[in-house]
Structure 1
Amino acid sequence: MNIASRIRQYGLSIVHEAPDALVDIVFVHGLNGHPHRTWTSSRTGTFWPVDLLPDVLSTCRVRILSYGYNANVTSFTDGASKDRILNHSETLAAGLAANRTINTCPERPIIFVCHSLGGLVVKRALIYSRSLTNEKVEHLRSIYVSTFGILFLGTPHNGSEMAKWGSLLQNICSAVLPKKFMDSSPQLIKALKTNNETLQNINSLFSDMVPRFHICFFHETLPMDVKGTRELIVDESSAAPQIDGVERMGIEADHSHMCKFDDETAPGYEAVAVALLRFAREAPATIHERWNEEGRTRMIIKTQKAREIFGEVSPSSASDRLGDRSGPRPSDGTTPQSSGGARSITVKQHEIEEPLDFVFDHGRTRFS
């Protein structure tokens, strides 16, 4: 069975896995894309995430996954009233978290590789994942905590002006959709020019997260035919804005082909591969520390909740609330006092009604 037949159109497909993998690399296609075709050379048939990348990353022990979703044009043009990008991003976060839990690697570092508007799906997934603090869904927050780096290939990051967004989206559609479809869809053109607030909001919300991640911007340098003229689909200023601490580089290809490499000598391949190699080497130590930090933060939050419930109360009322769990009084008959003289109790972990559900595993903080 060849690799193409093993890749599902929707959801996650594992396309390569080293023994005892330490890092997950997730490929996410864009508008009208496909989890296999987007990354496959039409000239040589090379599916570079499998045919080229594992050799470069042989010392890093990586698992490579490709994510597929219904990337039709309405996914990106229906506007805030039908936020399908949010639906895609929630599905990506939930599916990836579930896959990593089943494979007993929920804290493994993640590196995303995104083409075009697929970068907006990844951005939205990380915004969504970061926002989850409730204990019942904090397992989905693992995607945000574990993400180390992102490679954006031809993703539009700028577009504060509505008119520019409409023109940019129209160009992307022209690059990836049949001309007859564009010519016969005046309602699509109208939508592209007006219903793009969702895309703007994603870039705005993501901007303050940029310093947390290791990021590379790649922009196309060759134009494509659009409406009878040749132009860049996503120009350098949008695909690779000047941001402190972010790497940027051009790829000698057009928008559709910048994510397809014929072989190891293809323009841009070495730069992309080396970035992934560097990220894969650096990620484990950094993400391990971030999970330790996440564990401490969650402990503080739960402790604060406990203090809100059991704090600043008299011993008698504390005893009524805690029952036998409050434990015996000190043998000298004294009562703990706060610095201001008010009586208080000391709440131990076993006294919290919702105990901390983490354990320490070989010195690492893990959550059940």
Structure 2
Amino acid sequence: MAPSSRPAVYRATGIKRPLTEQELVTALEKLFSEDGTIQIQAMISPGCYSHDVIDVALVTFLPKAPTSLEEMIRNRDSVLIDTEKGQLLFDRNFHGLTQLYPTTKGVAVTADIVAVTGLDGHAYGSWRSRESGKMWLRDFLSESFPTCRTMIYGYDSKLGSTVGMHRILDYKRAFIEDLKMTRRLTESTDRPLIFICHSFGGIIVAQTLVSAARAEKFADPTQYAIFTATRGIMFFGTPHRGLLTEDILSMVDRNEQPERTRLVESIDTSSQELRTELEGFIGIAAVGKFKVFSFYETKKSRKLVKGPSGGFSRSGDWFFPVANDSALLDLPGDSEVAIPVHEDHSNIVKFSSPQDSTFEIVRHHISEVSAGL
């Protein structure tokens, strides 16, 4: 399918109620009138942090973003824009938690679904099909689970970053605080939780749950509730026992980015730190209070190769970045379901249609763990 099947999607925050989607689109059309051939779509959902005060919109521009917007946000994390409906903050990194679609009006939210991307991934783009342009967490789950609050979590995971966090500990702490903020209200603190994780995102979630389980001792009920409310975790290609990092390290300048180098080394197959933390997670997972679904790739990926212009492409030798014995936890009994996926490490979390066989499995297991909620 043509590249235009993946139109530009931005996040706009600061939307004051009762602004409607059509009113937002009309305001943006006036703002970007010089790009008259661009079609604008918007989906407004409640903000994850402001609770009943400020909404957030996913704004889609077809076939591409307005030139003026691209110029304003170039080399910046976000840009504040004046519209006839007030000031809106636009960004395309989706850092923090973002609700992907509004839940059914007048019906209580039944569960929180939180998806966490991997290292060098994008909170929104990592889950988006290259063929159809569909982002299944939004486009498919909204149809199947309209009463679930489905969110993505973004963080500075780019390998080229020199200013972001560089330790798993820091990522975990930030994720915990974001979860606590969005679940701090009485009606959401104990709401059932389902995690969907890709690669490094699974390590963050696993270590988050270990810390949450220990929080009871420190009289932090909101954090402890993250553990007690968890009903299921879907790990997609998560390197619990490390991954092969040789080609990833080739993208990192050891002299200019020593912290980033250490982060990548901390998730290598030789990492003792990773194995020690894993023991803690296996300890709480084996109890059986939540179900684990471990999806592992059965197609090889190509190694990254640096081209003559300095850019990297996956054109090297074929290999498995995450071996089966790293992707699978081997939990006792029926605590873990192992699911092979005939895709490579990147495409294991990209579904082009609701009829995709792996998505059908995902939908079934979400229904399974949420039954009776």
TM-score range, shorter chain: 0.5 to 0.7
Larger radius of gyration: 1
Aligned length: 262
3-state secondary structure, aligned to 2:122: coil
Query: In 2, Cα distance between the equivalents of 1:189 and 1:95?
Result: 25
More strand by share: 2
Assess, with a 3 A threshold, how the Cα gap between structure 1 residues 53 and 87 changes in structure 2: closer, same or farther. Answer: same
Number of the residue aligned with 1:120 = 203
Per-residue CA distance 1:200-238 (angstroms, 9 max, x = gap): 222111111113211100001111112631122212222
Q: Is the 8 A contact 1:264 1:270 kept in 2?
A: yes
Number of the residue aligned with 1:313 = none
Matches within 5 A, 1:102-113: 102=185, 104-113=187-196
Per-residue CA distance 1:284-339 (angstroms, 9 max, x = gap): 3xxxxxxxxxxxxxxxxxxxxxxxxxxxxxxxxxxxxxxxxxxxxxxxxxxxxxxx
Would you say 1:264 and 2:354 are equivalent positions? yes
Q: Which runs of 4+ in 1 moved over 4 A?
A: 4-8, 184-187
Query: In 2, Cα distance between the equivalents of 1:98 and 1:142?
Result: 13
Number of the residue aligned with 1:13 = 98
Q: Is the 8 A contact 1:170 1:189 kept in 2?
A: no
Number of the residue aligned with 1:206 = 281
Per-residue CA distance 1:115-141 (angstroms, 9 max, x = gap): 001000001111111111356533221
Q: Is the 8 A contact 2:245 2:264 kept in 1?
A: no
Matches within 5 A, 1:68-79: 68-73=154-159
Per-residue CA distance 1:118-171 (angstroms, 9 max, x = gap): 0000011111111113565332211111111100000023x3xxxxx4x62336
Query: In 1, Cα distance between the equivalents of 2:294 and 2:127?
Result: 17
Q: Is the 8 A contact 2:301 2:321 kept in 1?
A: yes
Q: Is the 8 A contact 1:124 1:202 kept in 2?
A: yes
Query: In 1, Cα distance between the equivalents of 2:186 and 2:275?
Result: 35
Query: In 1, Cα distance between the equivalents of 2:360 and 2:180?
Result: 30
Number of the residue aligned with 2:170 = 87
Alignment RMSD (CA, Å): 3.0
Query: In 2, Cα distance between the equivalents of 1:200 and 1:73?
Result: 23
Would you say 1:149 and 2:232 are equivalent positions? yes
Assess, with a 3 A threshold, how the Cα gap between structure 1 residues 103 and 88 changes in structure 2: closer, same or farther. Answer: farther
Match of 2:244 among 168, 174, 190: 168
The one-letter code of the counterpart of 2:222 is: H
Would you say 1:138 and 2:221 are equivalent positions? yes
Instruction: Choose between structure 1 and 2 for higher RCO, CA contacts under 8 A separated by at least 6 residues.
Output: 1
Q: Is the 8 A contact 2:184 2:222 kept in 1?
A: no
Q: Is the 8 A contact 2:131 2:352 kept in 1?
A: yes
Query: In 2, Cα distance between the equivalents of 1:41 and 1:16?
Result: 18
3-state secondary structure, aligned to 1:33: coil
Q: How far 1:73 sits from its partner (Å)? A: 4.4
Would you say 1:27 and 2:115 are equivalent positions? yes
Per-residue CA distance 1:30-74 (angstroms, 9 max, x = gap): 10111101111122211101111222224xx21101111112349
Would you say 1:100 and 2:183 are equivalent positions? yes
Assess, with a 3 A threshold, how the Cα gap between structure 1 residues 194 and 152 changes in structure 2: closer, same or farther. Answer: closer
Query: In 2, Cα distance between the equivalents of 1:9 and 1:103?
Result: 26
Number of the residue aligned with 2:151 = 65
Per-residue CA distance 1:157-194 (angstroms, 9 max, x = gap): 3x3xxxxx4x62336x37xxxx7x25x65874996269
Q: Is the 8 A contact 1:86 1:125 kept in 2?
A: no
The one-letter code of the counterpart of 1:149 is: G
Query: In 1, Cα distance between the equivalents of 2:227 and 2:337?
Result: 21
The one-letter code of the counterpart of 2:295 is: F
Structure 2: runs of 5 or more not aligned: 1-41, 44-57, 60-89, 305-315
Q: Is the 8 A contact 1:97 1:142 kept in 2?
A: no
Under a length normalisation based on structure 1, what TM-score does the superposition of the two structures give? 0.64
Q: How far 1:266 sits from its partner (Å)? A: 2.8
Number of the residue aligned with 2:323 = 235
Query: In 2, Cα distance between the equivalents of 1:185 and 1:225?
Result: 23
Q: How far 1:195 sits from its partner (Å)? A: 8.0
Assess, with a 3 A threshold, how the Cα gap between structure 1 residues 8 and 83 changes in structure 2: closer, same or farther. Answer: closer
Number of the residue aligned with 2:131 = 43
Q: Is the 8 A contact 1:112 1:151 kept in 2?
A: yes
Q: How far 1:267 sits from its partner (Å)? A: 4.2
